[in-house]
Structure 1
């Protein structure tokens, strides 16, 4: 075996916790290497060009791992341009499948850590994956110019995290010897010299970061005598070319028009032709004639290819190992819309076949998702990493015109040695000291176990918990309410533990409409002292639809369509000035959090409604009575 390396290519992933500045840093790297034309400005292309999806821009998070390539010919490139392929990965734990897929494409990582917040759960998650893969790591401490930055302390915390993970990830002690770069991605400046807290690094550009990448990240290694092997790591589509498979070429050469062997998941092999070969330059894919080891390419012409499969040599096909991702922890039922208002929106997609086809298409590009059948032919159990990942899928389908009934999120349990086990999360909370007691109380009710508490001495406390995943369903809304929007909570999957017992997450009941009709102001005035309403006057409701939150623990059937009886007696002026409180508008995520076991969410392109699974009040009462008698027996 004659191993060689390509000095003109580097493959690197930018990994970090959510909102630590990955996408901003990649943007600045693109600008400073001339990836944009002279006519393009921040105004014409928009900030955070890597976050191309509408939902990514709205939520300010990266959902899909994306790749770009920059051509670097700076002082340290020995006069020859070097292609640096950069993978921008999500920072949210729910999209961990994207992170794992991104790491399978690269030879090293740049770990970005906020100079104030320090390492957080997702930092631990992505670092463990990188160390387990024996990848070199560059630590980049970002946002050093934040007024509350604590650069030296964060560097120490990250070093401790490395020490902690080395044994856990069965990694190499040499990985502790990592270079540190200090940066302000927003300003586009990096330095290897530590600045004072709150100050910009010395210098005027990201040159020290580029130089560190070239010195630390190894060039792609390949066997000069090995046949073609190219790994499918991602999928995309083109209006002109159809499905595109994104591959990392491991060994050999691949050419446009070449006949190759497609090694499939099920072990079968098929001869296919590469009709088009594309390579990334900046943000654009350009046609290319051939690609070699280490290149990240897109190929067209194989309509059913999926992630983890291999394109191999025609004479000597050797498949690469499949990409494995962590088990899903949360599930929800997604089915067709079964409410009385189904199909009222023109052009909406309401049939079971359309919904199933869309879920099957999502499976093609989302390696961390699973779709399982249920007892009903028009509903499916969808399993994913977390609540947010599943809510994003439902939101995308809603925007595409689908009408759905979505059940309350549940945890995916498993049996180990005859004992029921459930997924648990490692939760980190940063909160002002005054809310310490409240947070402890909330977490105790959700069966959480406190692992550590640190007082930064700035009026803020950091608490670390191990909590059952189901204890975090509906947690975020309550947490933000109790901390007046000041608290920061982040969690990451930690493993499985024995079942923790019953968790009561919502103490209040629901206000349920007892008939169909339009909401009236008169009924709202009389009902708003009973709880918080979710609907406005003139809103169309139906029997079984939840119109508000009851102030008491039990549900209450209400007539929210009641009209004031008209008489020929003139009303006094006092009756004309009844005050209606503004209704609480729930987003899709908040609606899913609000749901109880006997409730679900109706999702249409125009509205999101919460409803009872059983709409008829009499039938609900009989179902509850049967459940109580079964429990007694």
Structure 2
């Protein structure tokens, strides 16, 4: 078994930034990412070579081990010295990421840590739905991809393809991969980052059987592809017949040498990545120190993940400038608070090794911060003025499924809420709220698996909970615009004029994908809104707020409001949007324009109730006039299945109010059907498609948009929602 390196050797390498590679493993569910990471860990001495491919060492949640899929991103530092001849050793920081779309928000956050990715693609299934999603995410983060075509053994032993057929498959996979780079990477990287076997940035192999090669490795080897074929062609092949392939073509050699030769070190990567992921002035002193990955500059850390353990909150981040040390005072930009780092460490899989100093270009684990959330920016306490937060990671998921949680014993209610609050810190894609009408504890997530895993995590942390059947998250909106609505307060001293409009799709998409609060100062935000939305110049000038459900508040009144009144109105606005008139669901995609507001003769004790009554009446009138509608979340569902099941599969969508977007029958072994499927029907649809295809269909659901519930179904759904909430009478 290879010798595990001492921490001192890894710390020495951390100072040699040109010898660091921060990379991730990404790809579709079950394409072999975690199996590949096991083989890399065995090379570093963290895992017995006999267990590599089976141990799932980076899947250290029990639930991950049980299900055989990765749910959280995990990382580890590897010392690699067998790479290039006559070269110093390399420090490779490896991040393994989830492949299931319910957890793709965790992929987005993990990508902020790395400069390159190895995209793992199943040779049989080729580049499919989640492969495309993660490649797009990586390129949007300025992360360079290389390609590993996995499960090559299956082409020989299961599909029994000829050499020519295998070659055609390779060409098709590489062409699909390069098409995505051409489509999603910015110039000049959409040309420079394309892959080819001749360039050495494509590897082929079997992660399960622990062998892989690049073209260069194959050319230097005594074995050729026909020898690999012979080992799998035997009628009764066993582990022994192909075991020597891992000796001739050790998988860690192919993958890690591809990483070292073709993925950038932090110094080179930050030269082009900082401008892409940070909205500040690239020519400022702070901008320059990050672009140059300067270990002597002010400390700047972008945090991608926060976990709760017995020591408190553990934050994982990438150091873009300066050096991180123990007992150091820092400033949290988003929270606007000073704090002190207590301890720092490097990740070694399930363990953390305490260290004294970690320089720029590395990944750090920070202990002791109390007011911390994923996506926070840490800055040296002496360099606050110039700094702006890192651009918000664009999560590709949004909570669309909700369930009611109840503790087994009422005495555990507060403990359950505390555990849920911890989960919210760790996972920004979860939402928790208490229904004011009936006291339900509602946990919302991106899919049934997301909620199931979260509930199991609560049980593991000490509170048994019962979970209701998951249901879709509905919202309420309006179809048209209202006229100008005028109201007067109960004491007859305050007046209000406002108008409601349905927000257009371009503006909705912007606020869904961007955390506008990170764009500072306001003059910069105005320019961005002008370019990226359909808001008018007057609306942008008077923009107040957009909430998490894409409702916008604009104030165009002549009266300049004091902060107290402005904050009171924002608080009222927040409460009103939580409880729509149709069935108590949240309002969404509504633009509220206040054209006039007069506040007279109201003391501060009564101002909230007076303004609340006035705003409630005006918004209710406006919604009624603009025609209320019920909105539901829609999945973009991609189904892969054998060609012979297409006919039966295309008859099912109509039964579940789904619309077929496209049918692709060009692939040799499978067809691909794309649907727009209501989330409320997704569980029963999954059962039906599984049954109709004898379990041979594979599908993934990704949030698409909120859309209006069909009129012929809306009354029944509204009645059911009102009944569940106890507001049916």
Distance 1:130 1:35 in 2: 28
What CA deviation, in whole Å up to 9, does each residue of 1:526-561 have, x standing for no partner? xxxxxxxxxxxxxxxxxxxxxxxxxxxxxxxxxxxx
What CA deviation, in whole Å up to 9, does each residue of 1:484-526 have, x standing for no partner? 222222233344555556679x9xxxxxxxxxxxxxxxxxxxx
**Larger % of strand: which?**
1
Number of matched residues?
498
**Larger % of helix: which?**
2
Alignment of 1:245 onto 2:291 = no
Displacement after TM superposition at 1:217 (Å): 1.3
Aligned pairs (5 A) from 1:192-211 = 192-193=214-215, 195=225, 203-211=249-257
Compared CA separation, residues 96 and 164, structure 1 to 2 (3 A): same
Compared CA separation, residues 161 and 105, structure 1 to 2 (3 A): same
Displacement after TM superposition at 1:80 (Å): 1.9
Compared CA separation, residues 119 and 75, structure 1 to 2 (3 A): closer
Compared CA separation, residues 413 and 117, structure 1 to 2 (3 A): farther
Aligned pairs (5 A) from 1:360-439 = 360-376=421-437, 378-399=439-460, 400-413=462-475, 415=477, 416-417=503-504, 422-439=632-649
Q: Aligned to 1:473, what secondary structure does the other structure show?
A: helix
Q: Which of residues 196, 206, 213 is equivalent to 1:191?
A: 213
Distance 2:49 2:190 in 1: 44
Distance 2:254 2:54 in 1: 26
Displacement after TM superposition at 1:123 (Å): 0.8
What CA deviation, in whole Å up to 9, does each residue of 1:404-457 have, x standing for no partner? 352532145575447866543332323344432221111222222141221545
Q: Which of residues 335, 356, 366 is equivalent to 2:417?
A: 356
Counterpart of 1:255 in structure 2 is 325
Counterpart of 2:204 in structure 1 is 182
What CA deviation, in whole Å up to 9, does each residue of 1:369-423 have, x standing for no partner? 2223423463233332222212221233345432335253214557544786654
Counterpart of 2:547 in structure 1 is none
Aligned pairs (5 A) from 1:93-112 = 93-112=101-120
Compared CA separation, residues 246 and 61, structure 1 to 2 (3 A): same
Counterpart of 1:311 in structure 2 is 378
Counterpart of 2:369 in structure 1 is 302
Q: Retained in 2: the 8 A contact 1:333–1:379? A: no
Counterpart of 1:516 in structure 2 is none
Compared CA separation, residues 237 and 16, structure 1 to 2 (3 A): same
Displacement after TM superposition at 1:65 (Å): 0.7
Q: Retained in 2: the 8 A contact 1:326–1:368? A: no
Alignment of 1:6 onto 2:23 = no
Compared CA separation, residues 445 and 181, structure 1 to 2 (3 A): same
Q: Aligned to 2:646, what secondary structure does the other structure show?
A: helix
Aligned pairs (5 A) from 1:176-575 = 176-178=193-195, 179-193=201-215, 195=225, 203-221=249-267, 222=290, 223=292, 224=294, 226-239=297-310, 241-257=311-327, 259-266=328-335, 268-272=336-340, 274-281=341-348, 283-317=350-384, 318=387, 320-321=389-390, 322-336=392-406, 343=408, 348=409, 351-376=412-437, 378-399=439-460, 400-413=462-475, 415=477, 416-417=503-504, 422-446=632-656, 447-454=658-665, 456-458=667-669, 460-495=670-705, 499=709
**TM-score normalised to structure 1 length:** 0.71
Q: Which of residues 69, 73, 78 is equivalent to 2:81?
A: 73
Distance 2:49 2:178 in 1: 39
Q: Which of residues 166, 175, 188 is equivalent to 1:159?
A: 175
Distance 2:671 2:646 in 1: 8
What CA deviation, in whole Å up to 9, does each residue of 1:219-267 have, x standing for no partner? 113433631101222223443x33222121110011123x22131423x
Distance 1:154 1:422 in 2: 41
- CA RMSD between the two structures: 3.5
Compared CA separation, residues 597 and 139, structure 1 to 2 (3 A): farther
Q: Aligned to 2:109, what secondary structure does the other structure show?
A: helix
Compared CA separation, residues 428 and 493, structure 1 to 2 (3 A): same
Q: Retained in 2: the 8 A contact 1:141–1:151? A: no
Q: Aligned to 2:370, what secondary structure does the other structure show?
A: coil
Q: Aligned to 2:59, what secondary structure does the other structure show?
A: coil
Q: Aligned to 2:152, what secondary structure does the other structure show?
A: coil
Q: Retained in 2: the 8 A contact 1:51–1:62? A: yes
